Amino acid sequence: MSKLLKLNLKIIKFSAPIDTSMRKILFVVFLFFACSNPDNHGDLSIFKTPTTDQFDKWSNIDSVYKSTIKEMVDVYKKSGKLNFNGNPWDNKKFQSKYSDLTWRGLYDYYQYFTEVYNDLGFEEGEILLDSLNNRFDQLRDDLIIWKEE
């Protein structure tokens, strides 16, 4: 659920008494605007392949999806093939462990580390990023060493 929708729901909930029908109407209006918000892109598990329509819409919002994010997902998929215990990318337990990771999350992570490198330079950026325990870094490592219990 988007931050805008959550904020609007809080406003509706805690403001002056409003009858139920008016709340429903306001909720639908806010839901419509939240869903049509261009910030709502990439909200699909990285284990699922977006439709051509979805991917084209995301790429229209930011071409980074086409130039970088898709390739990063492809690298993750290929990394799983290096695991001698079987490819975890296709394993439901593995997918469940990383079910919170989305195309949008990878996009945001890419934007973040790009900004860090631009602001701090490569060496200092590496030190900062290595100190973070990022879920995408965990995924990358687990793709190679994961073993089903």
Each residue's pLDDT tens digit, 78-137: 999 999 988 999 999 999 999 999 999 999 999 999 999 999 999 999 888 888 878 998
Are 69 and 25 contained in the same domain? no
Position 41 in a domain: no
Residue 40 domain flag? no
Cα end-to-end distance, the chain, whole Å:
33
Mark whether 126 and 86 lie in a shared domain. yes
Shared-domain flag, residues 11 and 75: no
Could you tell me if 111 and 65 lie in one domain? yes
Statement to judge: residues 58 and 26 lie in one domain: no
Eight-state DSSP code of residue 46: T
Domain that holds residue 26: 3-35
Residue 36 clears pLDDT 80, i.e. is over it: no
Is 0.95 surpassed by the pTM of this model? no
Q: Where are the alpha helices (DSSP H) in the chain?
A: 3-14, 20-35, 52-61, 64, 70-80, 92-97, 103-120, 122-131, 135-145
Answer for the pair 62, 107: CB distance below 8 angstroms, yes or no.
Answer: yes
Considering the domain architecture, whether residues 68 and 137 belong to the same structural domain is answered as: yes
Based on the domain organization, do 20 and 65 belong to the same domain? no
Residues 94 and 140 both lie in one domain? yes
| CA distance linking residue 88 with residue 139, whole number of Å | 10
Amino acid in position 148? E
Q: Mean pLDDT in the chain? A: 80
